[in-house]
Every structure is written in structure tokens, then in C-alpha cells.
Amino acid sequence: MTVSFAERLTTVFDGPGRLCVGIDPHAWLLTSWGLPDSADGALEFGLRVVDATAGSAGIVKPQVAFFERFGSLGFAALERVISSAREQGLLVIADAKRGDVGSSVDAYAEAWLGTGSPLESDAVTLNPFQGVGSLTGPLELADRNGKGVFVLAATSNPEGIEQQQAKLASGLTLARSILDDVTSWNEAHAAGPLGSAGVVLGATLDLTGFELGGARTPTPPVLAPGFGHQGASVSDLAAIYGPLAPGVVVSESRALLAAGPDGIRQAVATRAEEVRRASA
């Protein structure tokens, strides 16, 4: 019997906690780690972050773009990083932000959520610009394979605010409409208090302007960028997310990665404990 992403995420929440460590091999980070700005450097960087995370936190989020910039060698490196993370029991959220229609979006789903795919991850970020309905293929594949998705709704970049707060003919903001569609999917498919379909809501935003409404049942997982380097404080998690707080995944990248190869393990362990205390 396939174990749902929601069940596996709940196990992580109850164990190592909500910290999600980003794997973002920026050129400057590779240099500061003493690694070449190449696919080999990205591979070594990614494997070290995975090793430093295992045993302290339960989730990693490779940013696909920083591997993709090296072409086929970068994807080969990413495959090895994802495989290593999953072998060590970490949940992998591929931050790919894919979106399209028909057979194209279904192919993206097979790449990131397909059983046995070289890029197989536990969840993937999706872009709903063409409507949440265009993501039905990935949602259905995720449901069959015990995977998760995180649909962009209110992103942490300031350029997105005007569009995401825009009102639709229904009177709802675009962000609220996306959250409602994800909630409807979870209502029809989730078997427990947490859904397997989630949303991306930036922690640095004033979410009141997006008019997201109250509590949701099942609770959608919330991938929350903006903690750490971008300025959001984990002590404010409940205040930022309100009734959505029980599903929040605290995503941090640069603040941890800047600790370097000698300090990353301790940085992750310390931050994971802080997040556990703040979300207890």
C-alpha cells in the first residue's frame, strides 16, 4: 500500500521537525566552499549538504536552476544529490516550479514524481499560471505515487504581489483562489488531517493582503521561503500563518549554507532545534 506524502511529512514533523534545508549551489557559495563553479562542484556541494542535514533535519529542497545551468552534467549531479538524500531518509522537495498543459505538464510530472525516474523526488513545486486545473495530471500522479506538490500562491518576491493580490471575477484574490483549489483537491483525496497538495506562501509577506481566509481541513502543507537570510523569524511563524501554521515547512537556504563546509552540520543542527522549539 502506497504511503501518502502527507503521512510521511507528518512523520517528519513529529520527528526531526519542520526545517527544510535548501540546496542552492550559487556560484559565490561554491567559491566560498572552495569548490569549482561546475557540475562537479555542485555535486560535491549538494552531497555535503545532504550529509550535514541527515540526522538533524528531515527535508531538503534542491533548487533545480542552480544545477540546470550546467546542462546535462548538472542534471546528472542533481540526480545523484536527490538519490543520496532519499537513501538517507530525507524528504526531497524539488524546487522546479514547473507548469504547462496537457501532455507537457504530464511529462514534467513523470520526471519529478514518477516512480523510478532518475529525478524522482518526494514533492515538486508547480506554477499555476495556466490555472490550477492545468495541473491535474501532476496532482493525479502525485496521489497515485504517494508524492506531494506545492503550488505557487503568494511568493516572497515583491514583483508578484500585485498579480497575486488581484481580484478575480469571483471576488477572490488570485492567491485565495489557488489555495481554495488546492483545498478542494485535498478534501477529495486526503485521508488524514494533513493534505498532500500544498501551497507556497512567502514568510516575508503580509498575508492579510492576500485574503486567504481561515482554517482549512485537511490542512495544506505550506512551503514557506523567507526565513533566515530573507529576514522572517521562525518565532513569528504562528503570527505569520495563523490557521495555516500547522502545515508550515520552514525553508532556509543561504543563512545555513553560508556556514561553509566546516560549519554547515552544526548550523543545520542548531537551526533545526530552534525550529522544533518554535513550532512545538
Pick the closest to residue 143 from 94, 90, 189 (CA basis): 189
Q: Is 97 a catalytic residue?
A: yes
Query: Exactly one of 61, 97, 147, 167 is catalytic; which is it?
Result: 97
Which residues does the annotation mark as catalytic?
A: 97
